Amino acid sequence: MTRAVNIDAAINHVIATSARLKAIISAIEPLVPSGTRVVFVNADDAAAVARVYGSKVLTGAVTRSQWAQQRVS
């Protein structure tokens, strides 16, 4: 499995879910027109979050927004 997951959920929701699972985020960005692309520090964290989101994981092509670094605490 890859470390990146595209999810049909808001960034804040993905951050909260990741924190609850203690999955460490490496990078995160919004997708156009909606959704979130999140990269974790390891594939195990990505797999755990993907299992929680289930059918909300986007498997097809997505449109990424212009990348801008942001801090996640």
Query: pLDDT class for 21, splitting at 50, 70, 90?
Result: very high
Write down the pLDDT at residue 48.
97
**What stretches of the chain show up as alpha helix (H) in DSSP?**
11-21, 43-53
Write down the pLDDT at residue 37.
95
Query: pLDDT class for 42, splitting at 50, 70, 90?
Result: very high
- Whole-structure pTM value: 0.85
> Is residue 55 pLDDT above 90, yes or no?
yes
Strands in 25-32's sheet, in edge-to-edge order, are: 4-7, 36-40, 25-32, 63-64
Per-residue pLDDT tens digits for 30-40? 999 999 999 99
